Amino acid sequence: MSKYRFNRDQLKFVEERLGLKGRIALFFKYALGSLLLAILYYIVFASLFNTRAEERLIRENKMLVSQYETAVDKLDVLDNVISDLQKRDYEIYMSIFKSTPPGFLSGYNQKLYKQLDTSSDLILVNFTSDRVKFTDFLASEQIKKIESIYNTLKNKEGLLSIPSILPVKNLTTAQTGAGVGKKIHPFYKTMNDHTGIDLLPGIGAEVIATADGKVHKVIKSDRDRGNQIRIIHEGGFETYYAHLGEIFVREGQVVKRGVVIARVGNSGLSFAPHLHYEVIFNGEVMDPVNYFFAELNPAGYKEMMLIALNSGQSMD
């Protein structure tokens, strides 16, 4: 491209030819302008349009965000489940051993985990074996005590005022429902304090007094716990029978252990036919399973205890 310069001497425009340096400078000038313009075009295009790779990355990013949110929700659910399991384990331990569980594995024990990580397999096996043997020893001692109580009270006629038999005739341990503790209400689906044990024989099964005593109260109702009987026994004991069908006793009547007082029904707010049975000692609610020792052997006691503890929903 030529440039023109006005020549005053000739009074006309004269073509000014560029030398090598001028040509090189002009080339770089146009090259730089073209590069800057190309960069400007690229920025505008990139801000308005995405490439296939960018579109794929955006979709992957959205998917990862969604998966992360789902994982966080699942972790929250798992945390709640673990908390419920810890609470349930605590209640089971308290129900069985009547004491606060040891804090051996509560929370993160840095010293313990360091010891486990650095211990050899043989040491861990020996440690586990010792713990199992010790637990087995404790269990056998408890069974011996239960057998001793069972054998002593089985032939003792002077202890008939203690509620120590099953309140339903011909009841099997498999017919055990929810026991004492926090249980899910069958209708409201909320956690409530269940103060007795649910027994699940067929409707019309005979309900018997579990000890000698006097009928303190008889209630016939279609609400709450339906037809009910409360019996007072000597020594501070009291037994309570609810959701009954037919009732065969009256208030003030003296009853003997084993006498039929009612039939199993489905009265009141009951999920299904069953007997709700409670044992109260000096005004405090007791676990009825611990008061079946005159009829259950140690194996039956253990089975009924496990069923009652693992039944999460009550029948009333």
Predicted pLDDT at 105? 46
Calculate the alpha carbon distances from 254 to 7, 219, 250 in Å. Answer: 143, 17, 9
Question: How far, in Å, CA of 241 to CA of 231, rounded?
Answer: 9
Question: How far, in Å, CA of 315 to CA of 268, rounded?
Answer: 11
Q: What is the pLDDT of residues 109-144, one digit of tens each?
A: 556 555 555 556 666 667 777 777 777 777 777 777
Mean pLDDT, residues 231-245 taken together: 93
The pLDDT confidence band at residue 2, using thresholds 50, 70 and 90, is low
Mean pLDDT, residues 44-58 taken together: 76
Which one, of 207, 212, 213, 214, lies nearest residue 241 by Cα? 207
Does residue 269 carry a pLDDT above 80? yes
Q: Is 161-310 assigned to CATH 2.70.70.10? A: yes
Lowest mean pLDDT among 25-34, 116-125, 287-296, 305-314: 116-125
Amino acid identity for residue 309 in this structure: L
Which residues, in sequence order, are CB contacts of 182 under 8 Å at separation 6+?
87, 91, 191, 192, 193, 194
* Axis crossing angle, helix 298-310 with helix 52-97, rounded to the nearest 10: 140
Question: How far, in Å, CA of 24 to CA of 165, rounded?
Answer: 114
State which H helix or E strand residue 40 sits in: helix 20-48
CB 243 within 8 A of CB 314: no
Q: What is the DSSP letter of 313?
A: B
Q: What is the DSSP letter of 205?
A: P
Lowest mean pLDDT among 106-110, 189-193, 202-206: 106-110
CA angle 246, 248, 249 (to 5 degrees): 130
The pLDDT confidence band at residue 315, using thresholds 50, 70 and 90, is confident
Lowest mean pLDDT among 12-21, 36-45, 188-197, 242-251: 12-21
Does residue 104 carry a pLDDT above 50? no
Helix, strand, coil distribution of the chain in percent, nearest 5 = 45, 20, 30
Predicted pLDDT at 151? 67
Amino acid identity for residue 189 in this structure: K
Does residue 193 carry a pLDDT above 60? yes
Q: What is the pLDDT of residues 203-235, one digit of tens each?
A: 899 999 999 999 999 999 888 889 999 999 988
- Identify the residue with better confidence: 218 or 37: 218
The pLDDT confidence band at residue 198, using thresholds 50, 70 and 90, is very high
Question: How far, in Å, CA of 216 to CA of 35, rounded?
Answer: 103
